[in-house]
Amino acid sequence: MLEVQNVNGFVVNLRDITEKREAELNLVKSYELVMEQNKRLLNFAYIVSHNLRSHASNMQSILELYTEEDSVEEKDRYIELLQKVSGNLDQSLHDLNDVVSISTNMDISIQKINVREMLENTLEILIPQINRKEARIRNKVPAEMEVSFNAAYMESVLLNFLTNALLYTDKSRTPEIIISGYLKNERWVLEVEDNGIGIDMDAYGDKIFGLYKTFSSRKDGRGVGLFITKNQVEAMGGSVDVESTPGEGTTFKVYFK
C-alpha cells in the first residue's frame, strides 16, 4: 500500500521574459517591414518598366501616324492627342514619385478615386491601339463608383487589363471590350470582359498571375502585366478573379476592399 506524504510547500521559479518577448516581436516587425519595402520597390520597378513603356509606345505610335498623315486637320488632332498622352505621362511620374518616396511608412498612399474618370483617361491613352484593332469599347462603369486606392496602382491595373484585351484579340471577329462596375456584398467590383482568344484554364489556371507566364504563341506577350496587377490589388486589400474559355474570351474581376 502506497504511503501518501504531506506536501508542505512549493518552489516556484519565476523569470521575467518581457524584454525577450518584446525583442522577438520587434524582430518580427522589422522583418515584415523590410519584406514589405522590398515588395514595394519591386512593384515600383515593374510599374516604371511597364506603365512608362506603354506611354512611350503610344507617343511613338501617334508620332508615326502624324508623319504619315497629309491632312492638316488630322495632324492637329494627333498633336492634341499627343498632348493628352504627355499630360498623362506627367501625372504618372508624379504618382510614381509619391509611391517611391514612402520609405519606412507601412501605409501606401491612398486616396478616393473615381473609377469612371480614371478609366476615361486610360482609354484616351490607348486610342491608337483601339483604332488599330478597330475595337468596340463599352464603358458601363457608373459615375458614382469611387474606391480607396493608390492612384499609380489604379492606372496600372486599368492599363494592364485593357492592353491585355487589345493584345489577345481574335482575328475572326470584331474586338469588343466591356468594362463594368457594380456593388456586391457592399464592395465595388470592376469587371473587364473581352471576346478575345481566351485562356485554357485547365492548363494555365494556376499560372495566370505568375511572373513571365504567357499563354499564347504571341511573341509580344511579356507575362508581366497580370503579375503586377494582382500584387497591386492585393496590396490595397482587394482580390482578383478570372474566368476564361478558349475561343470565346476572358473576364477579369477586381474586388475592391
**Mean pLDDT of all residues in 196-204:** 81
How far is 154 from 79, CA to CA, in rounded Å?
Answer: 26
Give the residues across from 111 on adjacent strands: 149
233 within some domain: yes
11 within some domain: no
Domain total of the chain:
1
Round the average pLDDT of the chain to a whole number and report it.
80
The percent of residues in the chain predicted with pLDDT above 70, rounded, is: 70
90 within some domain: yes
245 within some domain: yes
Instruction: Give whichever of 3-7, 70-74, 133-137, 206-210 has the largest mean pLDDT.
Output: 133-137
Confidence bin at 116 (pLDDT 50/70/90): very high
Domain with 159, as residue range(s), is 18-255
How far is 211 from 227, CA to CA, in rounded Å?
Answer: 5
pTM assigned to the model: 0.60
What pLDDT, on a 0 to 100 scale, did the predictor assign at position 93? 72
Read off the pLDDT of residues 20-67 as tens digits, 9 standing for 90 and up: 777 777 777 667 656 766 665 666 666 666 667 777 888 888 888 888
- Kind of pairing, strands 146-149 and 111-114? antiparallel
Torsion of CA 131, 137, 143, 149, to 10 degrees: -80
130 within some domain: yes
Contact 163, 126 (CB under 8 A): yes
Report the CATH number that the domain containing residue 176 is assigned in CATH.
Answer: 3.30.565.10
Read off the pLDDT of residues 160-180 as tens digits, 9 standing for 90 and up: 899 989 999 999 999 999 999
235 within some domain: yes
